[in-house]
Amino acid sequence: MRAVVTVIGKDNVGILHKVSGICAETGANVIEVTQSVLQDMFAMIMLVDISGLNSDFAVLVDKMNSLGNQLGLSIHTMHEDIFNSMHNI
Amino acid sequence: MLNVYNILETIRMIQDECLDIRTITMGISLLDCIDTDIDKACEKVYNKIVNKAQNLVPVGQKIEKEYGIPIINKRISVTPVAMLAAACPDGDPVKFAKALQKAADTCGVNFIGGYSALVHKGFSAGDERLIRSIPEALAVTDNICSSVNIGSTKSGINMDAVKLMGRIVKETAEKTADRDCIGAAKLVVFCNAVEDNPFMAGAFHGAGEPDCEIHVGVSGPGVVRSALSKYPDASINELADIIKKTAFKITRMGQLVGARASELLGVPFGIVDLSLAPTPAIGDSVAHILEEMGLEKCGTHGTTACLAMLNDAVKKGGVMASSTVGGLSGAFIPVSEDAGMIDAAVEGVLSIEKLEAMTAVCSVGLDMIVVPGDIPAETISAIIADEAAIGMVNTKTTAVRLIPAIGKKEGETLEFGGLLGSGPVMPVKDKSSAKFINRGGRIPAPMHSLKN
């Protein structure tokens, strides 16, 4: 089971560190990261394995949401099934 | 395979274009709650609903978190209550409405639909009592919806019921006149009602359905409008293709959520309703899709053609995306719930006559239309009869949800708030239809050959 974490917003020091920190805390294993910074816009998509989570998936979502609010970033954490079912037949 | 473009497209649809799951609706059969003692029956109804649906809201919230998609409503539809009321001839059917309200409060759902009667060929025991109790039932409850089926393609139109419903609609508005006539917004009159509709106010759980199941209604007018806006010079058949592709994506989301809800609740998956359901929010309007196609204002000449294409393309795209499609499936045009329709009605471009034509080619019917408070009951009945005739002849579901604005005239507005929005009072003809309505009887079922 995998989930997709997307982070978009103004670039700042330590975004990747904080996001991956939450992954480590909750037991989500980072599989793949694609990241770009265009002028001062930060955009990152992270694929994480959530089969070894040490808590409910909702806890990971809540933590990411509160980090997003704290840093003024738009962070979405969604199960990969939504993308697979929407874009693949 | 995941790719960046797809991920960002999905997120944009949800965040900027108001894509959401409009409702997950649990259908529950109450046939095993029938009892000759109405108090016992009410107790059984309450217990059965709470037993089946106690996890509906938490499961809905869990899925919202998991997939990051909002699920706006969690609802329940039940067996038409007239079937239960038939067994207790001395009981007041309003007791059932109160029991349903209590169950809605306990489960935390937004609405329970099914305070209903099916009288397309005639009244059986309980039907007429239930219908006459609708104004009271909708006035003393907040989250109960009612529907009455007065006609069908196979049986014709029950004009006695049409006559009665004109009075009931008006009385329901009068009883809630202090609350912007909200009662009438929870009452819908159908021709060819479907048994697995997840949308309110017309949801009920048909007698042919299983004991308990889960239906999903999707939404997404904003996504369709935004997709079309990227192709300002495309031809109509190219637009139809874009709509199909978009509807496919929207419906896949409904299928995923429905399958997951069914798994988590341990209840069979019923249907996905392929729908474009607007809300009064900016960017969530079906009227704006039609305007994107090239109409200066929804309601002008060409509206029916645009809507016919939209409705058909939504179905074509959606059908392949879901394993089981049902319900009302199509584009909804509830006037007060759609920012573009409200605008068009206020400007006088969109009239009841045009809406009637539009209902011949899209989902459902004259929906959430505010009419003057002094409208005669017979005129409401005549509007119902016209709309039912369109449904009967064209073998489709049609419905009427009119709200007589008690004490208000053309030019004034009713404010419901929330998803129900607000509606300007729209003019109706002032010539009487009373003699026709007072004849009573039945319009015979139409023939199915020699079609012209």
- Select the residue of B7, B62, B320 nearest A83 (Cβ to Cβ): B7
> CA of A25 to nearest chain B CA: how many angstroms apart?
19
Question: How far apart, in Å, are the Cα atoms of B120 and each of A70, B192, B366, B445?
Answer: 58, 9, 19, 11
Contact call for A86 and B253, based on CB within 8 A: yes
In this structure, the answer to whether residues B186 and B229 fall within a common structural domain is no
- Residues in A closer than 8 angstroms to B65, CB to CB, are 57-58, 61
What number is the average pLDDT over the span B31-54?
96
In this structure, the answer to whether residues B29 and B91 fall within a common structural domain is yes
Q: Is residue B184 one of the residues assigned to a domain?
A: yes
Tell me the pLDDT band of B341, cut-offs 50, 70 and 90.
Answer: very high
Q: Is residue B200 one of the residues assigned to a domain?
A: no
What number is the average pLDDT over the span A9-24?
93
In this structure, the answer to whether residues B252 and B380 fall within a common structural domain is yes
In three-state secondary structure terms, B37 is coil
Q: Which chain A residue is nearest to residue B12, measuring alpha carbons?
A: A76
pLDDT of residue B193: 95
pLDDT of residue B449: 82
- Residues in B closer than 8 angstroms to A77, CB to CB, are 68
Angstrom distance (rounded) from CA B1 to CA B6: 10
In this structure, the answer to whether residues B118 and B181 fall within a common structural domain is yes
Q: Which chain A residue is nearest to residue B249, measuring alpha carbons?
A: A86
In this structure, the answer to whether residues B242 and B142 fall within a common structural domain is no
pLDDT of residue B411: 87
Contact call for B68 and A82, based on CB within 8 A: yes
Give the angle A84-B326-B240 at the CA atoms, nearest 5°.
65
In 3D space, the residue among B199, B151, B185 whose CA is nearest the CA of residue B329 turns out to be B199
Q: Which chain A residue is nearest to residue B62, measuring alpha carbons?
A: A58
In three-state secondary structure terms, B91 is coil
> CA of B66 to nearest chain A CA: how many angstroms apart?
6
What number is the average pLDDT over the span A73-88?
92
Q: Using one digit for the tens of pLDDT, what is the confidence trace for B387-405?
A: 999 999 999 999 999 999 9
Q: Is residue B288 one of the residues assigned to a domain?
A: yes
**For helices B303-321 and B236-265, angle between their N-to-C axes, nearest 10 degrees:** 40
pLDDT of residue B203: 94
Mutation for testing the B interface, residue in A66, A76, A83 having most B CBs under 10 Å: A83
- Select the residue of B66, B252, B320 nearest A57 (Cβ to Cβ): B66
In this structure, the answer to whether residues B256 and B145 fall within a common structural domain is no
Q: Is residue B63 one of the residues assigned to a domain?
A: no
What number is the average pLDDT over the span B16-39?
93
Q: Is residue B223 one of the residues assigned to a domain?
A: yes
State yes or no: pLDDT of B220 exceeds 90: no
Specify the DSSP element, H or E, that contains B368: strand B366-372
B436: CATH: 3.20.70.20
What number is the average pLDDT over the span B355-368?
92
In this structure, the answer to whether residues B44 and B134 fall within a common structural domain is yes
State yes or no: pLDDT of B1 exceeds 80: no
Contact call for B2 and A85, based on CB within 8 A: no
- Select the residue of A34, A78, A85 nearest B252 (Cβ to Cβ): A85
- What is the token pair recorded at B49? 């609903």
- Which domain range does residue B181 map to? 21-55+72-191
Contact call for B68 and A77, based on CB within 8 A: yes
In 3D space, the residue among B101, B127, B172 whose CA is nearest the CA of residue B401 turns out to be B172
State yes or no: pLDDT of B327 exceeds 90: no
Interface residue B6 vs chain A (CB under 8 A): yes
Q: Using one digit for the tens of pLDDT, what is the confidence trace for A42-72?
A: 999 999 999 999 999 999 999 999 999 999 9
Q: Which residues pair with B182 in a beta bridge?
A: none
Phi, psi at residue B2, to the nearest 5°? -85, 140
- Residues in B closer than 8 angstroms to A84, CB to CB, are 2
Interface residue B247 vs chain A (CB under 8 A): no
- Residues in A closer than 8 angstroms to B19, CB to CB, are none
pLDDT of residue B95: 96
Q: Which chain B residue is nearest to residue A35, measuring alpha carbons?
A: B4
State yes or no: pLDDT of B216 exceeds 80: yes
In this structure, the answer to whether residues B41 and B165 fall within a common structural domain is yes
What number is the average pLDDT over the span A11-15?
90
Contact B146, B186 (CB under 8 A): yes
Interface residue B62 vs chain A (CB under 8 A): yes
Phi, psi at residue B96, to the nearest 5°? -65, -40
Contact B70, B20 (CB under 8 A): yes
- What is the token pair recorded at B196? 């697995």
Specify the DSSP element, H or E, that contains B257: helix B236-265
Q: Using one digit for the tens of pLDDT, what is the confidence trace for B164-177?
A: 999 999 999 999 99
In this structure, the answer to whether residues B174 and B220 fall within a common structural domain is no
Question: How far apart, in Å, are the Cα atoms of B344 and each of A29, B129, B225, B369?
Answer: 52, 39, 17, 13
Angstrom distance (rounded) from CA B158 to CA B32: 29
Average pLDDT over all residues of chain B: 94
- What is the token pair recorded at B27? 């259908």
Task: Please say which residue of B191, B225, B244 terminates a domain.
Answer: B191
pLDDT of residue B17: 84
Contact B106, B48 (CB under 8 A): no
Residues 6+ positions from B329 with CB-CB distance below 8 Å: B273, B274, B275, B314, B315, B318, B363
Mutation for testing the A interface, residue in B67, B216, B260, B320 having most A CBs under 10 Å: B67
- Residues in A closer than 8 angstroms to B249, CB to CB, are 86-87
Interface residue A49 vs chain B (CB under 8 A): no
pLDDT of residue B363: 82
Tell me the pLDDT band of B417, cut-offs 50, 70 and 90.
Answer: confident
Angstrom distance (rounded) from CA A45 to CA A32: 8
In this structure, the answer to whether residues B262 and B355 fall within a common structural domain is yes
Q: What is the DSSP letter of A28?
A: P
Question: How far apart, in Å, are the Cα atoms of B102 and each of B42, B46, B49, B86?
Answer: 10, 7, 10, 21
Tell me the pLDDT band of B247, cut-offs 50, 70 and 90.
Answer: very high
Tell me the pLDDT band of B369, cut-offs 50, 70 and 90.
Answer: very high
Contact call for B68 and A81, based on CB within 8 A: no
In this structure, the answer to whether residues B403 and B329 fall within a common structural domain is yes
Interface residue B2 vs chain A (CB under 8 A): yes
In chain A, the domains with their CATH numbers are 2-87 (3.30.70.260)
pLDDT of residue B305: 97
Q: Using one digit for the tens of pLDDT, what is the confidence trace for B130-160?
A: 999 999 999 999 999 999 999 999 999 999 9
Residue B5's CB is within 10 A of a number of other CB atoms, namely: 9
The percentage of residues in chain B with a pLDDT greater than 90, rounded to a whole number, is 86
Q: Is residue B2 one of the residues assigned to a domain?
A: no
Q: Which of A85-89, B15-19, B125-129 has the highest mean pLDDT?
A: B125-129
Q: What is the DSSP letter of B425?
A: P
In this structure, the answer to whether residues B148 and B243 fall within a common structural domain is no
Tell me the pLDDT band of B349, cut-offs 50, 70 and 90.
Answer: very high
Q: Is residue B451 one of the residues assigned to a domain?
A: no
Contact B101, B109 (CB under 8 A): no
Number of domains in chain B: 2
What number is the average pLDDT over the span B267-286?
90
- ipTM (interface pTM): 0.88
State yes or no: pLDDT of B227 exceeds 80: yes
- Going by DSSP bridges, is the β-strand pair B212-218/B269-273 parallel, antiparallel, or unpaired? parallel
Contact call for B7 and A4, based on CB within 8 A: yes
Q: Is residue B239 one of the residues assigned to a domain?
A: yes
Q: Which residues pair with B401 in a beta bridge?
A: B367
- Residues in B closer than 8 angstroms to A76, CB to CB, are 11, 15, 68
State yes or no: pLDDT of B299 exceeds 80: yes
Interface residue A85 vs chain B (CB under 8 A): yes
Contact call for A57 and B65, based on CB within 8 A: yes
Mutation for testing the B interface, residue in A59, A78, A89 having most B CBs under 10 Å: A78
Angstrom distance (rounded) from CA B76 to CA B117: 17
